[in-house]
Amino acid sequence: MFYYSNRGPVMDYNDLGLVDFYLRELDTYLQQNNCLYVKMDPYWIYNVYDKDINPLPEYNENDALVNLFKSHGYTHHGFTTKYDTSSQVRWIGVLNLENETPASLKKAI
């Protein structure tokens, strides 16, 4: 059996204790249901970048979450940039519009 949690599970990924608990309980559930393979592509923030995709120095990479998943036997497939029809997009851009106006956004394009 195959399980796929697209853009999930939905939870607070800043709470590593919660994530650890969830992954332990999920493992129990998957074993009870004879799961052979599980795939997740959770919606979480690894790092914060500027509009030109340069990492912002005031933020750190979220390696703790990657390492927690790995400790539960999951494999991180890296930060690929190509599209894959078997999963959701790997990168999601969110532009901070705080203190922006339609005119300033138009000028920035």
pLDDT, tens digit, 9 for 90 and up, residues 12-70: 999 999 999 999 999 999 999 999 999 888 888 888 888 788 889 988 888 999 999 99
82 Cβ contact partners less than 8 Å away, ≥ 6 residues apart: none
CA nearest neighbour of 9 among 91, 63, 69? 69
d(CA 60, CA 47): 6
* Residue 5 and residue 37 in contact, taking contact as beta carbons nearer than 8 Å: no
Contact 24, 13 (CB under 8 A): no
Q: Is the dihedral of CA 93, 94, 95, 101 positive or negative?
A: positive
Average pLDDT, the chain: 87
Q: Which of 27, 62, 69, 67 is nearest to 48 (CA)?
A: 62
- pLDDT value of residue 78: 78
pLDDT of residue 68: 96
